[in-house]
């Protein structure tokens, strides 16, 4: 298998139009003739958004995209749980590796953003989040948030990481943060003295200690968690990443579990004055945890994610 090509395909800038999937495949913009995701365990390089999944949401520069699999090819209805394999695994891998994904919209997608006919390459997106849910037909689906990467342009610098700057070619991206009340995270971190509630690490710098305020149930659509101390944990970056990726979760007794090995990590550390709402932890388990009791499917079989491991 030749190496997957990430990023723009030379000769096909954003806005390029294609009559059909064959043209798209020949151009190398999206190679599979049928699958919506071009990807595998090494990553995903392109997706087609064409309204095939009722759970898809197209907001233009942001897309909430449904994974592949588990559908009846005739009716298009979901008849089984989706697995974290093939293209679905590819999109997670591209999120982990921060690889750009080409987005192609087809007629049949949201009319506000889709071409009237054929297919159109709509630029590069980042996968910024993935989680699972029960779709309209009652089976597990994987969902991916994709956010548009804006066109290349020279400009000033800002990143969350520290080491980025300078007079060099750049690619800007559309960056937005919800207006959070910074005092919410600040209070939680202070109550825990910047000590991770999972592992007890306090990262020290010459400027003082550092920790992150992690929202348990994400703010904004579709999670709509509150920006309140009961929805925030004080975590080190490693455990923040693991929590968001569903690699750890917290059960109703306050025990932290490794979602991949079923090994208990230890009790979630508490601090006087900081009450975490168990409902938010339950939401996180149900939608983010890779495995564990709450992600067992409704029929009681081994969970989808678990079966992958």
Site residues for a second copy, window 244-273 (CB under 8 A)?
244-247, 259-260
d(CA 281, CA 230): 10
- Residue 308 makes contact with a second copy by CB under 8 A: yes
Q: How many CA atoms are closer than 13 Å to the CA of 178, on its beta-carbon side? A: 12
Site residues for a second copy, window 3-32 (CB under 8 A)?
6
d(CA 184, CA 188): 6
Q: Which one, 111 or 155, has the nearer CB to a second copy?
A: 155
Distance of CA 217 to the CA centre of its chain: 13
In this structure, how many other beta carbons lie within 10 angstroms of the beta carbon of residue 154? 9
- Residue 81 makes contact with a second copy by CB under 8 A: no
Q: Which one, 75 or 162, has the nearer CB to a second copy?
A: 162
Contact 265, 292 (CB under 8 A): no
Among 30, 102, 105, 242, binds a second copy (CB under 8 A): 242
Per DSSP bridges, beta strands 62-66 and 57-58 are: antiparallel
Sign, CA dihedral 15-19-23-24, equals positive
Least distance to a second copy, CB of residue 150, Å: 8
Q: Quick one: which segment of 32-40, 46-54, 169-177, 266-274 binds a second copy (CB under 8 A)?
A: 169-177
Q: Quick one: which segment of 103-111, 112-120, 133-141, 212-220 binds a second copy (CB under 8 A)?
A: 212-220
In this structure, how many other beta carbons lie within 10 angstroms of the beta carbon of residue 184? 18
Least distance to a second copy, CB of residue 188, Å: 12
- Residue 112 makes contact with a second copy by CB under 8 A: no
Least distance to a second copy, CB of residue 23, Å: 27
Site residues for a second copy, window 268-307 (CB under 8 A)?
290-291, 305
Distance linking the first and last C-alpha atoms of the chain: 24
Closest among 75, 66, 5 to 39, alpha carbons compared: 5
Q: Quick one: which segment of 11-19, 74-82, 103-111, 153-161 binds a second copy (CB under 8 A)?
A: 153-161
Contact 188, 229 (CB under 8 A): yes
- Residue 182 makes contact with a second copy by CB under 8 A: yes
Among 19, 41, 117, 136, binds a second copy (CB under 8 A): 41
CA separation, residue 95 to residues 44, 125, 139, 145, 241 (Å): 9, 10, 24, 10, 12
Least distance to a second copy, CB of residue 294, Å: 14
Among 21, 30, 71, 99, binds a second copy (CB under 8 A): 99
- Residue 97 makes contact with a second copy by CB under 8 A: yes
Among 11, 206, 272, 299, binds a second copy (CB under 8 A): 206
Cis peptide before 222 (omega within 30 of 0): yes
Among 27, 219, 268, 296, binds a second copy (CB under 8 A): 219
């Amino acid at each position: 298998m030749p190496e997957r090509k990430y990023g723009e395909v030379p000769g096909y800038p954003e806005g390029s139009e294609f009559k059909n999937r064959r043209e798209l495949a020949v151009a190398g913009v999206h190679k599979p003739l049928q699958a919506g995701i071009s990807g595998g365990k090494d990553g995903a390089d392109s997706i087609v958004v064409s309204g095939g999944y009722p759970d898809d949401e197209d907001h233009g520069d942001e897309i909430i995209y449904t994974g592949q699999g588990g559908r009846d090819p005739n009716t298009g209805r979901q008849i089984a749980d989706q697995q974290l394999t093939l293209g679905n695994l590819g999109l997670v891998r591209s999120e982990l590796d921060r690889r750009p994904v080409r987005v192609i919209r087809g007629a049949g997608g949201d009319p506000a953003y889709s071409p009237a006919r054929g297919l159109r390459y709509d630029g590069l997106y980042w996968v910024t989040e993935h989680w699972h849910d029960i779709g309209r037909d009652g089976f597990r689906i994987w969902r991916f948030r994709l956010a548009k990467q804006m066109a290349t342009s020279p400009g000033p610098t800002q990143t969350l990481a520290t080491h980025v700057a300078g007079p060099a070619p750049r690619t800007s991206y559309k960056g937005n943060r919800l207006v959070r009340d910074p005092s919410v995270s600040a209070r939680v971190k202070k109550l825990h003295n910047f000590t991770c509630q999972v592992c007890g690490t306090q990262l020290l710098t010459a400027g003082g200690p550092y920790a992150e305020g992690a929202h348990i149930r994400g703010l904004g659509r579709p999670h709509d968690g509150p920006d309140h101390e009961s929805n925030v944990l004080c975590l080190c970056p490693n455990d923040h990443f693991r929590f968001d990726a569903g690699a750890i979760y917290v059960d109703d007794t306050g025990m932290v579990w490794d979602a991949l090995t079923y090994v208990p990590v230890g009790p979630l550390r508490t601090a006087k004055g900081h009450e975490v709402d168990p409902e938010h932890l339950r939401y996180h388990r149900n939608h983010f945890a890779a495995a564990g009791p709450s992600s067992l499917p409704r029929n009681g079989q081994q969970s989808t994610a678990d079966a992958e491991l």
